Chains A and B, each alone.
Chain A
Amino acid sequence: MTALVQTRKFHAQVISRAGQKAHLAGMKVGTIAYNHDELTMPAIETFALAKHYNIGFWRKRRKDALKSLTLTVEEGEVFGYLGPNGAGKTTTLRLLMGLVYPSAGSARILGKALDDPAMKAQIGFLPEQPYFYDHLTPKELLTYYAQLSGVPGKDRARKVDASLARVGMSESAGIQMRKFSKGMLQRVGIAQAIVHDPKLIFLDEPMSGLDPVGRREVRDLIQSLHEEGKTIFFSTHILSDAETVCDRVAVLNKGELRGVGVVADLVSEVSGQVEFVWTGAAATAEIAALGGKTHEASETFRTILTQEATDRAIDAIRGAGGKLISVTPVRATLEDYFLSKLGAGDRDSQNMQEVTR
């Protein structure tokens, strides 16, 4: 069993990397060829999925919450769905969950239609800012949900306790939820998403409302679910959270997909810069000739240049009598990628500020 899961994960990863390269090369993700056997069935597929709302009471205006999303998430992946406020992340999740109906396009989860009950028994969902029946205790709520999800009576109590323990809510399991803080509700929300041991878990901003410790716990939880072979699709606008746990991410802005890929690849795609640190001579003129600017701090000099200039810069610094201490490629963060995808400096800057906050 473990061996199977292992191969499966490996397989999925190879495929997803291949698929992702193809996408970056400009191909539509939906058209990537994968073996249509059981093992590599994608966890989530969307085909030109779109949703618009008509807003305004008298004069209806059309608001495109999601424009033609084509995306594939493989089984076993942790997939980050990134975008600034109003990008359409929640809309996508509501569409996938069958809560709202698409204006165009379609989607499949675990190879099934979105309203297939057999598929629904195998997925879990944490909504944005979850709210529950506040006259119930977490234990009662989860027992109810386990029952709805078809967990057999004899396993229910055990699974409820286990999932509450997993989110650190065992001690509050018997308190009515009207007395809960936002972070506690968020934890109960995560517990209800995993109580029935689903294969595929959707989380809409799982870290929101949590303190730093809580965020790390959620990150660890995602990691451990991943190790159990589960697929996780989660939205966030907090890039560092995504960066640490995701196999792949998609970046969405204003309802449009701006990029999909493995975090490491996306990040290297953006940077291409190298940092030089040396002592001895400033070599200001030489560096300036290469298009850089020298910074000095306690007799140590530092500059950042493009990758191509590396050799010439090393020669220049040595030639000027400098002694090199380090030459390091600048590791771009997901944030850099994000900003580059959102079109730096233009009218999106307001969104970016919220994103980089």
Chain B
Amino acid sequence: MIGRLWAIAYSTFREAVRDRVLYNLIVFALLIVGAALLVGQISIGIERLVLVNLGLTSISLFGIVIAIFIGIGLVSKEIEKRTLYTVLAARPVRRWEFIIGKFLGLVGTLTVNAFFMSAGFFAALLYLTHRFQRADADLLVAIYFILLQFVLITSLALFFSTFSSPLLSAVFAFSLFVIGTFADDMRGFAKLTEGGTKWVMTGMSYLVPNFSSLNVISQVAHSVPVPGHLVLLNTLYVLAYAVAVNCAAVLVFEKRNLK
């Protein structure tokens, strides 16, 4: 089972690489180098703030976009092109293994991608500030949270991909991402309302993927430390959410006629 999951995950990764997904790294590199050179010239004091904001936001957005673009086709494209036939029909591969393998493969791809971007980002930071400081450790936490965001968005895109077309899946996944970035605001808004509305709003705010709690970029840019319990809570939250969404994806996919 582990062998098959690994094989499916690796093939997903390889397909992404062959589809030239990693080329985004070039764009990222140009962006970060350009930014570092530019900020280095104009100001003193806020270089770190600017670079951290720009670098981490790019790492996050690049990854989210890739996750949605690849995720929405992970299952539906394979059904449509019938590449799935030779994978699932006469091999001891269970349908859930296919889903989980795909999920791990895409999360792996995004992690590798984020790793290279982070390396570039830290190099640029070192170039600007000449040495790392204590607060830079929190940047790693911010990057970890970005990876958690990838886990969330991948599971959602994959879920939609099990029953709808790539275009619709993209719309669904992207909408949820946007709504999710305002999850905390929704929660705050719910507190201000009364009765039925309050219940609905609170329920909604917990149901949508909470991307806002996973975004600590401006915080770490201002060298405000991230509390340890947030790391723990966010990890548990994302784990629970991803497990639930993946289970839903498996349930839907198990029932489907692959024609």
Contacts and interface: CB of A to CB of B under 8 A. Distances in A.
Contacts of B130: none
Interface in A164-206: 189, 192-193, 196, 198, 202
B251 interface: no
B184 interface: no
A124 B90 contact: yes
A144 interface: yes
B258 A99 contact: yes
A133 B11 contact: yes
Given A120-B90, A125-B89, A135 B15 contact: yes
Given A131-B81, A147-B7, A148-B4, A99 B88 contact: yes
A198 B90 contact: yes
A133 B18 CA distance: 11
B82 interface: yes
B206 interface: no
B227 interface: no
Contacts of B82: 127, 129-131
Interface string A112-123: 000101101101
B80 to A, nearest CB: 10
Contact of B86 (A98, A120, A125, A135): A125
Nearest to A150: B92
B259 A135 contact: no
Contacts, number: 83
Contacts of B14: 135-136
A148 B87 contact: yes
Interface string A305-344: 0000000000000000000000000000000000000000
B94 A144 contact: no
Nearest to A135: B18
A189 B259 contact: no
Interface string A98-118: 111100000000000001011
B15 A149 contact: no
Interface string A129-155: 111110110000000110111100000
Nearest to B6: A147
B85 A97 contact: yes
Nearest to A123: B90
Interface string B71-114: 00000000001111111111111100000000000000000000
A145 B81 CA distance: 17
Interface in B146-179: none
- Size category of the B interface is 20 to 34
B19 A135 contact: yes
A16 B204 CA distance: 63
A145 B86 contact: yes
A109 to B, nearest CB: 10
A94 interface: yes
A148 B93 contact: yes
Contacts of A127: 82, 85-86, 89
B133 interface: no
B94 A130 contact: no
A150 B92 CA distance: 8
A99 B259 contact: yes
Interface string B16-29: 00110000000000
Contacts of B18: 135-136
A118 B92 contact: yes
A123 B18 CA distance: 30
B15 A120 contact: no
Contacts of B92: 117-118, 120-121, 148-150
A132 B81 CA distance: 8
Contacts of A101: 257
Nearest to A188: B86
Contacts of B89: 97-99, 125, 127
Contacts of A115: 94
A129 B3 CA distance: 29
A94 B259 contact: yes
A127 to B, nearest CB: 4
Given A121-B92, A149-B92, A132 B257 contact: no
Contact of B83 (A100, A131, A148, A202): A131
B3 to A, nearest CB: 7
A189 B91 contact: no
13 contacts: A94-B259, A97-B89, A98-B88, A100-B257, A115-B94, A117-B92, A117-B93, A121-B92, A125-B90, A127-B89, A130-B86, A148-B91, A149-B91
Complex A-B, nearest 9 residue pairs according to Cβ-Cβ distance, in ascending order: A125-B90, A117-B92, A97-B89, A135-B18, A100-B257, A127-B85, A99-B258, A121-B92, A147-B7
Interface of B: 3-4, 7-8, 11, 14-15, 18-19, 81-94, 257-259
